[in-house]
C-alpha cells in the first residue's frame, strides 16, 4: 500500500536521519574501507532521501549524499593562492642518498631523530579547506603558491568528507588518485568508444579533475590519501605519525602503510619492503616519503628555497609500461 506523503516536519526529521545514516555508510565504504551494509541497503535509503528532496527541494543540504553525483557544468577554474605554500620534496635515488640525508639531518638536529615513512602516492596533490567542519574549498597544487579551485569536482570524490567529525576549521593536503583497477576499466571503456586512452593512473586522475562537467568526475572513482596538515586549527598532534592518526579521527582517508622508524636502517628496510610490495598495491606509488617525525625538529630544520630540509622522497625506478 502506498505510504501517506510526509508532512514537511516529518520530511525534515526523516531527511536528517537518512543523511546521517547514508554519510556514515559512505564513510565506512569509501574512507575506512570497512563497509557494514550491502549496496542494496544503501541504495534503498538513498532513494528514500532522494524522493524526499525531490518533494521538498529546500531540504537539500550541502553535505547530502545526493550532492555527490555532480551535474554542474563549470565555466572554468578560478585561481587560488595557497596561504601556506605547497612545498615540493628533494629526491633521492639510491641508498647512499638516503644515508647522506640522515647524516645531514642528525648533524643539523644535533641529536638522534625518528622518521615517519609513508608511501609516495602517484596522483595529484590537492589542498582541502574546512570551516566549522564543512568542506568549503578544494584546490590543485599548481606551482605551490597558486593553484586552481576544483571544489565542485572534489565534492564528487566520495572519500573526501563534506563534513568532518568535529566542527573545526583546518586546511589539509594529500593526494587524489585513481585506483589501478579503475584505470584499467576506464581505458577499456575509452578504447571501446574510440577515444584516446590515458597513459597512466596519474594522468587519468589529473584529466578527470580537469573535467568541467562534474557528473563526469563522479563516475571516475577517484580516491584520496591525506597526509599533511597545513593549518592545524585546534588539532594537537606534535609529530607526523600522530598527525596522520588525527587526520583519520576527524574523517579523512589516510594510508595505513605508514611506519615510525627509529633509525635510517629501519627506513631503508621499509623502502626495500615496499619496493617489493609495490606491484601488489591497488594504487600506484612512485616512491617513499621520509620525514623527521617530531614537528619541533621540522621547525628547527626549516626549508630551502625549494623544499624542506627535514624530508626526502626516495624515488623508485619506473615500473614496466602500463598494460
Cell 557544468 appears where? 73
Which 70-109 residues touch ligand 1X8, going by CB under 6 A? 87-89
Sheet holding 311-315, edge to edge: 91-92, 311-315, 285-292, 115-121, 259-261
Residue 315 to residue 281: CA distance in whole angstroms = 16
Give the dihedral of Cα atoms 249, 288, 279, 160; nearest 10 deg: 30
295 touches 149 (CB < 8 A): no
Which positions are annotated as active-site residues?
120
> Between 87 and 232, whose beta carbon lies closer to ligand 1X8?
87
With binding defined as CB under 6 A, does residue 120 bind ligand 1X8? yes
x/- track of binding to ligand 1X8 for residues 158-197 (CB under 6 A) = -----------------x----------------------
Span of 29-37, 47-55, 119-127, 262-270 interacting with ligand 1X8 by CB under 6 A: 119-127
x/- track of binding to ligand 1X8 for residues 288-317 (CB under 6 A) = -x----------------------------
Question: At closest approach, how far in Å is the CB of 141 from ligand 1X8?
Answer: 8
With binding defined as CB under 6 A, does residue 148 bind ligand 1X8? no
The size of the chain, in residues, is 323
**E strands along the chain, which residues?**
79-81, 91-92, 115-121, 124-131, 134-140, 146-148, 170-177, 223-231, 259-261, 285-292, 311-315
> Between 88 and 221, whose beta carbon lies closer to ligand 1X8?
88
Span of 9-17, 23-31, 117-125, 190-198 interacting with ligand 1X8 by CB under 6 A: 117-125
**Site for ligand 1X8, rule CB under 6 A:** 87-89, 118, 120-121, 125, 175, 227, 289
Amino acid at each position: 500500500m502506498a505510504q501517506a506523503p510526509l508532512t514537511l516536519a516529518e520530511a525534515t526529521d526523516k531527511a536528517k536521519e537518512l543523511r546521517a545514516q547514508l554519510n556514515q555508510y559512505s564513510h565506512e565504504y569509501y574512507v575506512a574501507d570497512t563497509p557494514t551494509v550491502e549496496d542494496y541497503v544503501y541504495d534503498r535509503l538513498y532513494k528514500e532521501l532522494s524522493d524526499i528532496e525531490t518533494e521538498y527541494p529546500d531540504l537539500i543540504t550541502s553535505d547530502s549524499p545526493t550532492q555527490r553525483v555532480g551535474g554542474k557544468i563549470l565555466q572554468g577554474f578560478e585561481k587560488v593562492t595557497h596561504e601556506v605554500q605547497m612545498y615540493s620534496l628533494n629526491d633521492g635515488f639510491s641508498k647512499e642518498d638516503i644515508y647522506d640525508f640522515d647524516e645531514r639531518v642528525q648533524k643539523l638536529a644535533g641529536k638522534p631523530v625518528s622518521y615517519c615513512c609513508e608511501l609516495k602516492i602517484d596522483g595529484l596533490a590537492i589542498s582541502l579547506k574546512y570551516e566549522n567542519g564543512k568542506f568549503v574549498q578544494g584546490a590543485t597544487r599548481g606551482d605551490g603558491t597558486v593553484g586552481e579551485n576544483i571544489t565542485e569536482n572534489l565534492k564528487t570524490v566520495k572519500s573526501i568528507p563534506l563534513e568532518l567529525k568535529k566542527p573545526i576549521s583546518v586546511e589539509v593536503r594529500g593526494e587524489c588518485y585513481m585506483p589501478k583497477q579503475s584505470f584499467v576499466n576506464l581505458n577499456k571503456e575509452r578504447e571501446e568508444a574510440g577515444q584516446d586512452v590515458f597513459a597512466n593512473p596519474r594522468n587519468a586522475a589529473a584529466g578527470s579533475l580537469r573535467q568541467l562537467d562534474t557528473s563526469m568526475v563522479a563516475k571516475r572513482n577517484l580516491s584520496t590519501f591525506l597526509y599533511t596538515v597545513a593549518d592545524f586549527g585546534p588539532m594537537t598532534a606534535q609529530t607526523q605519525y600522530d598527525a596522520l592518526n588525527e587526520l583519520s579521527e576527524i574523517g579523512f582517508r589516510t594510508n595505513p602503510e605508514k611506519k615510525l622508524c627509529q633509525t635510517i636502517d629501519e627506513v631503508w628496510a621499509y623502502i626495500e619492503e615496499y619496493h617489493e610490495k609495490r606491484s601488489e598495491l591497488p594504487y600506484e606509488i612512485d616512491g617513499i616519503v621520509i620525514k623527521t617525525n617530531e614537528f619541533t625538529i621540522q621547525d628547527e630544520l626549516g626549508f630551502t628555497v625549494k623544499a624542506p630540509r627535514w624530508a626526502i622522497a626516495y624515488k623508485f625506478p619506473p615500473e614496466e609500461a602500463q598494460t
